[in-house]
């Protein structure tokens, strides 16, 4: 990999105030999913190093919290500037370890950096409250204070942005963070730590611990010095972390699985709906928790939509994300390929028609063909489980009530989308969908200004927006008696 600044690809973890290199002990290889090439190694660390990082973080956090919001804001702003200055390198590292096309990876860096920028701004707007007292002599003052040390566990699908969305508000609020990045994509996390150091973030405030998920996760959840766990990943692991956090009553932020419905009503602009569905479905090769997993199309426009959608999907080029003109990269691993294969086989067995793709890609490895299945139905596995791959399933529906019932018949409640023009229908449907987020006539809803998050098995709490920083604060009520 040709980097302008090769020091950004660092084979070391940051534990408290010290870097531990992969050469010092046991290490884990990191591979490029497009080629199988080993990019480098990271240290295989566990509970002891996590404990050290937490203890250093607890110490460093006190001074950090005591600084003015403007001081914290300035350092975060410097971090943002460095991320933007090194966007090309950060994007190249991300593509190499994750697989998404380079343009999309650079887009993620811009998106990821925007959370640091936003929370650098929000740092100065964490306001308390003064409430009229309950007696002539009483004054009620509400302070918002940083929650303390935060344990963060992040996934591989957005190796940069899922970190900044947590670290931005945590550090802005005056917290410290110990992060365990996904095993598949640690180099993006480490590069962020290198830049945080350069931006002047005080040592010890932001650790990146690589290694055993069970050991690091076990220590982060059990250690009483950690006051909050923020996690993005599967619902199964989220539930486990919640259970592990119960004995020490930690605050939790959980961004878990989704199974997003994407509804196209008969009054929609069909071309715009096709365009939105393409983005909502195939972004990151279908590997996002807000990807459209169930595309419901009203029967009168079903055939027209299905044909246009298939033709648009057929134009996507699959390949190594580092090559020019590639729209979708490989899947992250074999397990991901098996899941897509299972969902396709199950759909075919239950009456689905494959109108595009359906097979492993001729490129081999974990490349998979862009796939479209029509005549999907509620008894198929893809109707209730997240596919996390390039499979679009098109379900026909008749009435508005029917599709709302089908869309809500899911244990998940993260993102949802619909296309319609009738004003009353837009309000009715937006209010009826049991999801934390609704995209109306758009397939792209993530942005630092908005509260991202889900209900039901999709999680707890919100990330981004002014709500996002509140998640990293505790309310303290001070009752003043005035003589
Ligand atoms: P995905 O299926 O997207 O990889 P996971 O929930 O398995 O989602 O992984 C998300 C993150 O959770 C990763 O950083 C992974 O290493 C971590 N993880 C997985 N299992 C555990 C565990 N038992 N304890 C703590 N972290 C875990």
**Ligand 1, atom 9: closest residue by C-alpha:** 233
Centroid of ligand 1 to alpha carbon of 233 (angstroms): 6
Q: How far is CA 398 from CA 168, 230, 339, 394, in A?
A: 45, 41, 30, 13
Give the whole-angstrom CA distance, residue 312 versus residue 173. Answer: 44
Ligand 1 centroid–CA 213 distance in Å is 7
Pocket lining: 159 vs ligand 1, CB cutoff 6 Å: no
Mean pLDDT of 222-228: 98
Domain ranges in the chain with CATH number 3.40.309.10: 260-440
| pLDDT tens digits along 172-215 | 999 999 999 999 999 999 999 999 999 999 999 999 999 999 99
pLDDT one-digit tens code per residue, 343-380: 999 999 999 999 999 999 999 999 999 999 999 999 99
User: 236 C-alpha to center of ligand 1: Å?
Assistant: 9
Q: ipTM of this complex > 0.90?
A: yes
193/196 Cα distance (integer angstroms): 5
Nearest CA to ligand 1 atom 4: 155
**3-state SS class at 305:** helix
Instruction: Give the relative orientation of helices 69-85 and 186-199 as an angle to the nearest 10 degrees.
Output: 130
Interval between CA 429 and ligand 1 midpoint (Å):
34
Out of 28, 153, 254, 256, give the residue to mutate to test ligand 1, the one with the largest number of ligand atoms within 8 Å of its CB.
153
Q: Rounded to the nearest 5°, which phi and psi values hold at 413?
A: -155, 55
Catalytic residue among 11, 122, 219, 255: 255
280 CB less than 6 Å from ligand 1? no
Q: Residue 159: name the closest of 125, 177, 182 by CA.
A: 182
Answer yes or no: is the C-beta of 234 below 6 A from any ligand 1 atom.
yes
Rounded CA-CA distance 263/19 in Å is 49
Q: Is 153 in the pocket of ligand 1 (CB under 6 A)?
A: yes
pLDDT over 90 for what percent of the chain?
100
CA of 92 to the centre of ligand 1 (A): 24
For the CA atoms of 169, 121, 463, 469, the dihedral, rounded to the nearest 10 degrees, stands at 50
183 lines ligand 1 (CB under 6 A): yes
Q: Which atom of ligand 1 is nearest to the CA of 236?
A: 6
Active site residue 255: yes
Q: What is the pLDDT of residue 394?
A: 98
Q: Which fold, 260-440?
A: Aldehyde Dehydrogenase; Chain A, domain 2 (3.40.309)
pLDDT at 298 over 90: yes
Residues 255 and 241 sit within 8 Å (Cβ to Cβ): no
The verdict on domain 6-256+458-477 having CATH code 3.40.50.720 is no
* R_g of the chain computed on alpha carbons: 23
Task: Compute the distance between CA of residue 131 and CA of residue 253 in angstroms, rounded to an integer.
Answer: 28
Give the tens place of pLDDT for each residue, 395-446. 999 999 999 999 999 999 999 999 999 999 999 999 999 999 999 999 999 9
Would you state the pLDDT for residue 1?
A: 85
What residues pair up with 363 in beta bridges, in sequence order? none
Is residue 213 lining ligand 1, measured as CB closer than 6 Å?
Answer: yes
The residue whose CB lies within 8 Å of the most ligand 1 atoms, and thus the one to mutate among 98, 155, 158, 179, is: 155
- Nearest ligand 1 atom, CA 232: 10
Ligand 1 pocket residue status of 214, Cβ below 6 Å: yes
Centroid of ligand 1 to alpha carbon of 155 (angstroms): 7
Torsion of CA 91, 96, 102, 108, to 10 degrees: -50
Residue 352, classed as helix, strand or coil, is: coil
CATH 3.40.605.10 residue window(s) in the chain: 6-256+458-477
* Inter-residue contact 39 to 11 (CB < 8 Å): no
- In short, whether 155's Cβ falls inside 6 Å of ligand 1 is yes
Maximum C-alpha span of the chain: 81
pTM (whole model) above 0.80: yes
Q: How confident is the model over 43-64, as pLDDT tens digits? A: 999 999 999 999 999 999 999 9
Q: Is 233 in the pocket of ligand 1 (CB under 6 A)?
A: yes
Q: Rounded to whole angstroms, what are the CA distances from 292 to 158, 214, 264, 372, 439?
A: 17, 31, 12, 12, 11
Closest C-alpha residue for ligand 1 atom 17: 213
Distance 273 CA to ligand 1 centre (A): 34
What does the mean pLDDT of the chain come to? 98
- Per residue in 465-481, pLDDT tens? 999 999 999 999 999 99
């Amino acid at each position: 990999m040709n980097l302008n600044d090769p020091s950004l690809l660092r084979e070391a973890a940051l534990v408290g105030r010290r870097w531990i290199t992969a050469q010092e002990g046991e290490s884990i290889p990191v591979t490029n999913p497009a080629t199988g090439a080993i990019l480098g190694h990271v240290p295989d660390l566990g509970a002891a190093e996590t404990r050290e990082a937490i203890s250093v973080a607890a110490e460093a956090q006190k001074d950090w919290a005591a600084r003015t919001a403007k001081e914290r804001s300035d350092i975060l702003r410097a971090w943002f500037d460095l991320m933007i200055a090194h966007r090309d390198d950060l994007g190249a590292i991300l593509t190499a370890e994750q697989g998404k096309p380079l343009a999309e990876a650079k887009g993620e860096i811009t998106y990821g950096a925007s959370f640091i920028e936003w929370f650098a701004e929000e740092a100065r707007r964490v306001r308390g409250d003064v409430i009229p007292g309950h007696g002539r002599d009483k004054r009620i003052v509400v302070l918002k204070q940083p929650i303390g040390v935060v344990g963060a566990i992040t996934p591989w699908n957005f190796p940069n942005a899922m970190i900044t969305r947590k670290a931005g508000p945590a550090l802005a609020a005056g917290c410290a963070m110990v992060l365990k990045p996904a095993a598949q994509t640690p180099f993006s996390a480490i590069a962020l730590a290198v830049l945080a150091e350069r931006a002047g973030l005080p040592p010890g405030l932001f650790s990146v611990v690589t290694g055993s998920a069970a050991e690091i996760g076990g220590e982060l959840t059990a250690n009483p010095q950690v006051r909050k766990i923020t996690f993005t990943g599967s619902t199964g692991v989220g539930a486990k972390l919640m259970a592990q956090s119960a004995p020490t009553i930690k605050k939790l932020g959980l961004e878990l699985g989704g199974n997003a419905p994407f509804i196209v009503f008969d009054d929609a602009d069909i071309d715009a709906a096709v365009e939105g569905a393409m983005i909502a479905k195939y972004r990151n090769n279908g590997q996002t928790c807000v990807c459209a997993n169930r595309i419901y199309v009203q029967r009168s426009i079903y055939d027209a939509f299905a044909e246009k959608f298939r033709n648009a999907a057929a134009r996507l080029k699959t390949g190594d994300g580092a090559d020019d003109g590639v729209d979708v990269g490989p899947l992250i691993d074999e397990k991901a390929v098996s899941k897509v294969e299972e969902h396709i086989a199950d759909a075919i067995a239950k009456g689905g028609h494959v109108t595009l793709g359906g097979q492993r890609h001729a490129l081999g490895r974990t490349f998979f063909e862009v796939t479209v299945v029509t005549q999907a139905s509620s008894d198929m596995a893809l109707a209730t489980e997240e596919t996390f791959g390039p499979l679009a399933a098109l379900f026909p529906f008749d009435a508005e009530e029917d599709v709302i019932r089908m869309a809500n018949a899911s244990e998940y409640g993260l993102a949802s989308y619909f296309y319609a023009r009738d004003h009353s229908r837009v309000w009715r449907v937006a209010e009826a969908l049991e999801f934390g987020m609704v995209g109306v006539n758009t397939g792209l809803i993530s942005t630092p200004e908005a509260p991202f998050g889900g209900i039901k098995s999709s999680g707890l709490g919100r990330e981004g927006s002014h709500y996002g920083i509140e998640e990293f604060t505790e309310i303290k009520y001070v009752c003043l008696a005035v003589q």
